[in-house]
């Protein structure tokens, strides 16, 4: 009998990282009946990904509201998924990572006594407020999950240290690398106006510093420090700062208030995935608090300065493709200037080696479920 697999995602990074896995399950039609549910925690930023990867969504819950609170969103996810799970009765629910969709889809599945498979399992900072609320969201998913697909040895070890049964942990690499490889392939035939716009902004004479950010623990003073650092860095006439601004109003309002109209600073709407990958590959340095960007950049050989005080992705720091710079203005500025001036150091940390995966994660996950599910 075919196994019924139900995917639940809600945000941009979940959809990017689940897209290759959904496709891989769909290739195995004789074994699996695949159903895809979007909570719609994100809207425009999620639609960009669904469109690019051509994901067929069976059920769209459309739950996003402007500047939603965690409580409001959580209760809507829990309530809306009950009916879906009652109707679909899947054998497995697949969730990804650490968003509110992840945590509450896990709880909803548990209440319906459906097995949960957690993709990108085992990431930890061991600080419950950093990142907030993601550290606890992924711990909730980890507590409920029946199968834990860990991207790295370290992530698997974190789960073992929490007494998770070793037999339920499978190390696969991160599906984000599968997505990146697919993304580069699909881009060749994708009509992309956003890349054309970017080509008009960038100049061969100037180095690009790409910025992204959205972490809740950086709201307020963190983002003000980051913006003030960017302002000072932008005084260098040899660089362009390109910043696709996250749509969360707590980010967008601060960033546009402090950085609009500044020379050398280009504030853009969130870019579609292929345009963002293209821009990463053209960048000299990436300044970010994003999880996914930390994982993708080493494949392109672009150094990442992580504007956070902690990271659940220590592999990049260990392999020297990323530096944890925090959110203090002076530290961000001095690290960027050091990398702009010190060619030897720049070369040392811009190596094309990726500790997060090899592009085979989705295949490994599907094979595992085929054999053991």
Name, in order, each residue with C-beta under 8 angstroms of 337's C-beta and a sequence gap of 6 or more. Answer: 233
Decide if residue 249 touches ligand UD1 (CB under 6 A). yes
Q: What are phi and psi of 125, to 5 degrees?
A: -105, -20
Decide if residue 308 touches ligand UD1 (CB under 6 A). no
Decide if residue 41 touches ligand UD1 (CB under 6 A). yes
- The SS3 assignment for 305 reads strand
Instruction: Compute the half-sphere exposure of residue 71: CA atoms within 13 Å on the CB side of its CA.
Output: 0
Decide if residue 12 touches ligand UDP (CB under 6 A). yes
Cβ of 81: how many Cβ atoms within 10 Å?
27
Site pattern 282..301 for ligand UD1 (x: CB under 6 A)? --------------------
Decide if residue 311 touches ligand UD1 (CB under 6 A). no
Stretch that binds ligand UD1, among 31-39, 61-69, 78-86, 162-170 (CB under 6 A): 61-69
Decide if residue 149 touches ligand UDP (CB under 6 A). no
Catalytic annotation present for 153: no
Catalytic annotation present for 134: yes
Task: For residue 266, give Cα distances in angstroms to 90, 205, 229, 252.
Answer: 46, 16, 15, 14
Catalytic annotation present for 98: yes
* Binds ligand UDP by CB under 6 A, chosen from 90, 133, 173, 244: 244
Stretch that binds ligand UDP, among 81-89, 194-202, 292-300, 331-339 (CB under 6 A): 292-300
Catalytic annotation present for 313: no
**Distance (Å, rounded) from C-alpha 54 to C-alpha 193?**
18
Q: In this structure, what token pair is assigned to residue 69? A: 């609170």
In this structure, are strands 239-244 and 115-119 parallel, antiparallel, or unpaired? unpaired
Decide if residue 283 touches ligand UDP (CB under 6 A). no
Residue among 98 and 296 whose Cβ is closer to ligand UD1 = 98
DSSP 220: T
Total chain residues near ligand UDP (CB under 6 A):
15
Nearest to residue 92, comparing CAs of 33, 39, 142, 50?
33
Instruction: Pinpoint the alpha helices (H) of 188-328.
Output: 193-201, 221-233, 249-259, 273-282, 291-300, 314-318
- Residue tagged active-site, from 24, 98, 135, 295: 98
Q: Which 249-278 residues touch ligand UDP, going by CB under 6 A?
A: 270-271, 273, 276
Cβ of 127: how many Cβ atoms within 10 Å?
13
**Distance (Å, rounded) from C-alpha 184 to C-alpha 170?**
27
The H or E element spanning position 88 is helix 70-88
Name, in order, each residue with C-beta under 8 angstroms of 281's C-beta and a sequence gap of 6 or more. Answer: 300, 302
Residue among 170 and 255 whose Cβ is closer to ligand UD1 = 255
In the complex, what is the shortest distance from the CB of residue 51 to ligand UD1, in angstroms, rounded to a whole number?
Answer: 13
Decide if residue 67 touches ligand UD1 (CB under 6 A). yes
In the complex, what is the shortest distance from the CB of residue 95 to ligand UD1, in angstroms, rounded to a whole number?
Answer: 12
In the complex, what is the shortest distance from the CB of residue 219 to ligand UD1, in angstroms, rounded to a whole number?
Answer: 9
Q: Which does 42 bind (CB under 5 to 8 A by kind): ligand UD1, ligand UDP, none?
A: ligand UD1
In the complex, what is the shortest distance from the CB of residue 370 to ligand UD1, in angstroms, rounded to a whole number?
Answer: 30
Nearest to residue 131, comparing CAs of 251, 289, 246?
289
* Binds ligand UDP by CB under 6 A, chosen from 40, 142, 173, 292: 292
Decide if residue 359 touches ligand UDP (CB under 6 A). no
Q: How many residues does the chain have?
A: 373
The residues that touch ligand UD1, with contacts defined as CB under 6 A, are 11-13, 41-46, 64-68, 70, 73, 98-100, 133-134, 214, 247-249
The residues that touch ligand UDP, with contacts defined as CB under 6 A, are 12-13, 16, 212, 214, 244, 270-271, 273, 276, 290-293, 296
Active site residues: 98, 120, 134, 214, 216, 246
């Amino acid at each position: 009998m075919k196994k019924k697999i139900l995917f639940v995602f809600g945000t941009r990074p979940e959809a990017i990282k689940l897209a290759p896995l959904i496709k891989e399950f769909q290739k195995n039609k004789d074994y699996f009946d695949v159903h895809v549910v979007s909570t719609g925690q994100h809207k425009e930023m999620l639609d960009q990904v669904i469109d690019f990867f051509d994901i067929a969504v069976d059920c769209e819950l459309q739950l996003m509201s402007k500047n939603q609170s965690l409580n409001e969103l959580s209760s809507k996810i829990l309530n809306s998924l009950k009916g879906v799970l009652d109707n679909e009765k899947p054998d497995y629910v697949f969730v990804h990572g650490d968003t509110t969709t992840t945590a509450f889809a896990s709880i909803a599945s548990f209440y319906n006594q459906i097995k949960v498979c957690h993709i990108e399992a085992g990431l930890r900072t061991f600080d419950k407020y950093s990142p907030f609320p993601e550290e606890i969201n992924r711990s909730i998913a980890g507590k409920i999950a029946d199968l834990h697909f860990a991207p790295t040895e370290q992530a698997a070890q974190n789960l073992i240290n929490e007494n998770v049964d070793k037999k339920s942990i499978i190390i696969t690499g991160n599906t984000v690398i599968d997505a990146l490889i697919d993304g580069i392939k699909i881009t060749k035939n994708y009509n992309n106006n956003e890349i054309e716009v970017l080509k008009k902004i960038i100049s061969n004479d100037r180095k690009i510093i790409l910025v992204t950010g959205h972490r809740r623990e950086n709201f307020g003073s963190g983002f003000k420090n980051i913006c003030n650092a960017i302002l000072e860095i932008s005084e260098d006439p040899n660089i362009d700062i390109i910043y696709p601004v996250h749509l969360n109003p707590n980010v967008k309002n601060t960033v546009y208030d402090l950085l609009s109209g500044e020379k050398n600073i280009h504030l853009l709407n969130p870019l579609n995935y292929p345009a963002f990958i293209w821009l990463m590959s053209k960048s000299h340095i990436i300044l970010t608090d994003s999880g996914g960007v930390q994982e993708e950049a080493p494949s392109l050989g672009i150094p990442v300065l992580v504007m956070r005080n902690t990271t659940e992705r220590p592999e990049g720091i260990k392999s020297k493709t990323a530096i944890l710079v925090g959110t203090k203005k002076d530290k961000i500025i001095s690290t960027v200037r050091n990398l702009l001036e010190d060619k030897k150091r720049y070369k040392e940390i811009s190596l094309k080696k990726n500790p997060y995966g090899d592009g085979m994660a989705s295949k490994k996950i599907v094979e595992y479920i085929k054999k053991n599910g």
